[in-house]
Structure 1
Amino acid sequence: MPEIARTRPAEDTDERGTLTGLLDFLRATVELKLAGLTEEQAFARPVQPSALTPGGIVKHLTGVERFWFAIDFAGLDVEWPWSEEDPHGCFPIDPGDTVDGLLAAYRAECARSREIVAGASFDDQARSEGMTFTLRYAVAHLIEETARHLGHLDLLRESTDGQAGE
């Protein structure tokens, strides 16, 4: 099997470079998901327990919105979305979390993100220290991140109650 090159695209380039770079990154990721699998493994239908939950994914996406737009791009002084024990937001559900609460938090964070995006140019660069990406890159990255996790949500929902998503 040929080696699969998977390179993150430049974070401060034009639309063509950003979008084609992210697409090529995702295309290589598709290949990597099958790399090294036998025919039996690639065509099996494994149903293994996972730590992923639909609620945990929404909670994670809420943190991702805040991290990329409010904290890193806009440089706002807002609460860090994840704990020291879980610095990357690995989908934990905490006591007291509810579906309504998680969705309300997600909607509110998306609304703040929309305001930040509406008030800036795609050519504007992130304001947080050490960040070099443009708003264009952040928007494209959130498309990638959200799409990836929607795939997880599709599988989890189908496994939970049989509903297959669009």
Structure 2
Amino acid sequence: MRDEYGRPEPPAAGTEAEVLLGFLDYQRATFAWKISGLDAAGLATALPPSPMTLGGMIKHLAYVEDEWFHVRLLGKQRPAPWDEVDWGSDPDWEWHTAGEDTPEQLHALWQAALARSREATATALADAGMGRLSRYQFRDTGQTPSLRWILTHMIEEYARHNGHADLIRESIDGLVGE
């Protein structure tokens, strides 16, 4: 089922994996709705006093998808373009460089990251289910997050940025909604 904005409704009575993945896909679809149809100027618009833009948010979420699912969950190397970044000199590189990319490049980067994330999730679910531990440990506690934790974190990540996206999009062209 899809809502009036084309977002997939999370199942009300699915398995744990189905519900968490349903909510994550719902949040991803909400973000896709908020960034749809904007040109380079729209994606570069900030809502002062924050310098945050929707283009920066697209690139940031692509990075976060790759970092959590591809790198931390599966233990793989960062894919391009993240593998070439000097993160030590600019830890917010994705936000600062989004204005150099076209809308098409930003959307393609995010879609490729989503595809890798979905593949990584399917691999982890087939391997050990929701309890599948990542290849990453938190530096401060030494704990290893599970796929369950990562999915919950990603729902939170998108929900937070969808609030930002809603305000920025409304300032651009008046588009409002959840």
Interval containing the TM-score (normalised by the shorter chain): 0.5 to 0.7
d(CA) in 2 for partners of 1:48, 1:97: 22
d(CA) in 1 for partners of 2:59, 2:177: 19
For the pair 1:61 / 2:65, whether they are aligned, the reply is no
Please state how far the C-alpha of 1:74 moved relative to its aligned partner.
Answer: 0.6
Q: Is the 8 A contact 1:72 1:131 kept in 2?
A: no
Deviation per residue, 1:91-118 (Å, 9 max, x gap): 2235631111011010010110001111
* Match in the other structure for 1:134: 146
Structure 1 letter corresponding to 2:159 = A
Q: 1:103 to 1:94 in 2, by over 3 A?
A: closer
Higher normalized helix content (fraction of residues): 2
Please state how far the C-alpha of 1:73 moved relative to its aligned partner.
Answer: 0.8
List alignment gaps of at least 5 residues for structure 1: 1-14, 20-46
Q: Is the 8 A contact 1:126 1:135 kept in 2?
A: yes
* Match in the other structure for 2:50: 50
SS in 1 for 2:97: coil
Aligned residues: 122
Structure 1 letter corresponding to 2:116 = R
TM-score after normalising by structure 1: 0.65
Alignment RMSD: 2.3
* Match in the other structure for 1:100: 104
Deviation per residue, 1:74-131 (Å, 9 max, x gap): 1012244653322255622356311110110100101100011111121110113656
Give the percent of matched residue pairs that are identical in Structure 1 and Structure 2: 43
List alignment gaps of at least 5 residues for structure 2: 1-15, 21-46
- The structure having more radius of gyration, on CA atoms, is 1
SS in 2 for 1:156: helix
Q: Is the 8 A contact 1:63 1:89 kept in 2?
A: no
Structure 2 letter corresponding to 1:99 = P
SS in 1 for 2:62: helix
Aligned 1:73-88 pairs, distance under 5 A:
73-79=73-79, 80=82, 83-88=87-92
For the pair 1:125 / 2:133, whether they are aligned, the reply is yes
Moved over 4 A (4+): none
